[in-house]
């Protein structure tokens, strides 16, 4: 499936394209790309029935909404009415009685859920190598990871099964897979999204967001999710972007070439790049993030199970975790001796406001419109052997810090961040992502900048 969500929805509403044909195409593409393993569950009959209702409503002159007939993939930690939610783990398996509010906002505008996307188990990981439901494969190279934890949604979009979908992002789980598969992925400001109906990871930092082939489509989905006006592209002349120098070190040659080329194109378009150092608050964010995160993972998951699946205890769930990396985290850092105490947790939470104030002062001090940096320092590594470590510039290093390094702090800031795909060259066929981060709650401003940046990179 190719084209834009905006254009396809217009065609469906005009009657020149049927919703049924779009849904049939999505399932044909799913069958053709079955080796990608992008979905945990799907329901062709239900999706086609929903599509027929859209077509009948259009035929009778009714209002179908701004997403009429658009097939979407929804990450399997987000409730969709009538679908099972698993969060990618064996012991969670309940049928949602109603959709999460963010899903309802999309389906009320005519969008059609075709299935629940595969993911890194319990949304804790950067590979989407799911030992319970099978690894998701990167459409750019089936031997490589798509990134995580929203890898299934990203892969479904990158392979053309759907044009858009939803993921969740606690510490990079939308933006990393977007970068590694060559799609656009947006982490909204934490405060803007209703997280009811979503299996939690770390509630203080969790947020759900849209993924699509282009920034324009991401912005369109976000505007519908939040009942806000679709942003127009910003004039790049005079735009000031903070180039985060501590995120530019130890990049793979491929990523370094891609982002350097992008920076040159943006400067030609009138953007001013100002080198900034955010290492003090970035380091502090990691300290806060892990202390707060491991503490909240235990309590939030226990509360979720009590509500959604009361016969399953937290220990029952942990005992059945299939992926070794996730199980080790829960056994040691969430429930075990390494778990943070309540005192440590409260001290971490108390530091967040100070970190966010320093982040905002950085924008004021340098007159910045946004920060800019490579989403990930490394392109997608092979699936084989990537569960724990990867090769980066000749050194075998732990994988989690590599792919969290540039993106995890954004969640602590509570700020919006978007990964924009960079065109792959013949020499470097694997996708690379360029990230922009903005001020908290200034999401539309960031999307306006991102639309202009994407256009400049494509036209240069």
From the candidates 173, 223, 323, 419, give the one annotated as an active-site residue: 173
Distance CA 260, CA 268 (A): 13
From the candidates 18, 91, 149, 448, give the one annotated as an active-site residue: 149
Tokens of 433: 């992502």
Catalytic: 75?
A: yes
Q: Bridge partners of 301?
A: none
CA-based radius of gyration for the chain: 21
198: left (phi over 0), alpha (psi -120 to 50) or beta: beta
From the candidates 75, 116, 308, 451, give the one annotated as an active-site residue: 75
Q: Bridge partners of 422?
A: 432
Residue with tokens 């960031």: 446
Q: Bridge partners of 168?
A: 208
Q: Is the dihedral of CA 129, 133, 139, 141 positive or negative?
A: positive
Closest CA to 175 of 162, 188, 164, 163: 188
Alpha helices (H) in 309-419, listed in sequence order: 314-319, 324-328, 342-366, 399-404, 408-413
Within a 13 Å sphere around the CA of 280, how many CA atoms are in the beta-carbon half?
Answer: 10
Catalytic: 459?
A: no
Tokens of 260: 């350097």
Whether the CB-CB separation of 445 and 439 falls below 8 Å is answered with yes
Q: How many CB atoms lie within 10 A of CB 357?
A: 11
Distance CA 137, CA 174 (A): 16
Catalytic: 116?
A: no
Enzyme catalytic residues: 75, 149, 173
């Amino acid at each position: 499936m190719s084209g834009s969500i905006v254009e396809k929805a217009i065609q469906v509403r005009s009657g020149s394209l049927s919703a049924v044909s779009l849904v049939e195409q999505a399932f044909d593409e799913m069958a053709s790309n079955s080796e990608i393993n992008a979905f945990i569950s799907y329901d062709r009959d239900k999706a086609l029935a929903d599509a027929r209702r859209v077509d009948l409503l259009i035929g009778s002159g009714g209002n179908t909404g701004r997403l009429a007939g658009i097939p979407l993939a929804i990450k399997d930690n987000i409730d969709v009415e009538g679908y099972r939610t698993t969060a990618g783990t064996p012991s969670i398996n309940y049928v949602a009685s109603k959709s999460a509010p963010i899903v309802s906002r999309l389906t009320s505008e005519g969008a059609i859920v075709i299935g629940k996307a595969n993911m890194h188990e319990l949304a804790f990981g950067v590979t989407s190598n799911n030992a319970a439901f099978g690894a998701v494969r990167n459409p750019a190279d089936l031997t490589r990871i798509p990134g995580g934890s929203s890898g299934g949604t990203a892969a479904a979009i990158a392979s053309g099964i759907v044009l858009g979908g939803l993921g969740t992002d606690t510490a990079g789980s939308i933006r990393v897979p977007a970068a590694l598969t060559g799609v656009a992925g947006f982490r909204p400001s934490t405060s803007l999204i209703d997280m009811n109906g979503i299996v939690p990871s770390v509630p203080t930092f969790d947020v759900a967001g849209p993924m699509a082939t282009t920034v324009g489509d991401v912005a369109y989905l976000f505007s519908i999710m939040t009942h806000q006006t679709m942003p127009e592209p910003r004039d790049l002349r005079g735009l000031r972007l903070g180039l985060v120098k501590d995120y530019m070190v130890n990049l793979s040659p491929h990523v370094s070439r891609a982002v350097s080329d992008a920076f040159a194109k943006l400067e030609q378009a009138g953007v001013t790049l100002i080198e900034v150092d955010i290492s003090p608050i970035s380091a502090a964010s990691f300290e806060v993030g892990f202390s707060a995160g491991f503490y909240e993972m235990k309590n939030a998951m226990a509360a979720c199970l009590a509500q959604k699946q009361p016969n399953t205890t937290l220990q029952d769930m942990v005992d059945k975790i299939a992926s070794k990396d996730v199980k080790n985290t829960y056994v040691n850092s969430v429930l075990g001796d390494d778990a943070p105490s309540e005192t440590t947790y409260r001290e971490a939470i108390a530091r967040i406001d100070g970190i966010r104030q320093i982040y905002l002062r950085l924008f004021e001090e340098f007159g910045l419109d946004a920060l800019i940096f490579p989403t990930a320092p490394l392109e997608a590594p092979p699936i084989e052997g990537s569960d724990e470590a990867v090769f980066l510039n000749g050194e075998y290093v732990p994988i989690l810090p590599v792919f969290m390094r540039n993106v995890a702090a954004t969640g602590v800031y509570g700020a919006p961040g978007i990964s924009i795909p960079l065109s792959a060259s013949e020499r470097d066929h694997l996708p690379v992502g360029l990230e922009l981060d903005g001020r908290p709650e200034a999401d539309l401003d960031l999307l306006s900048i991102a639309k202009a940046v994407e256009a400049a990179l494509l036209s240069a």
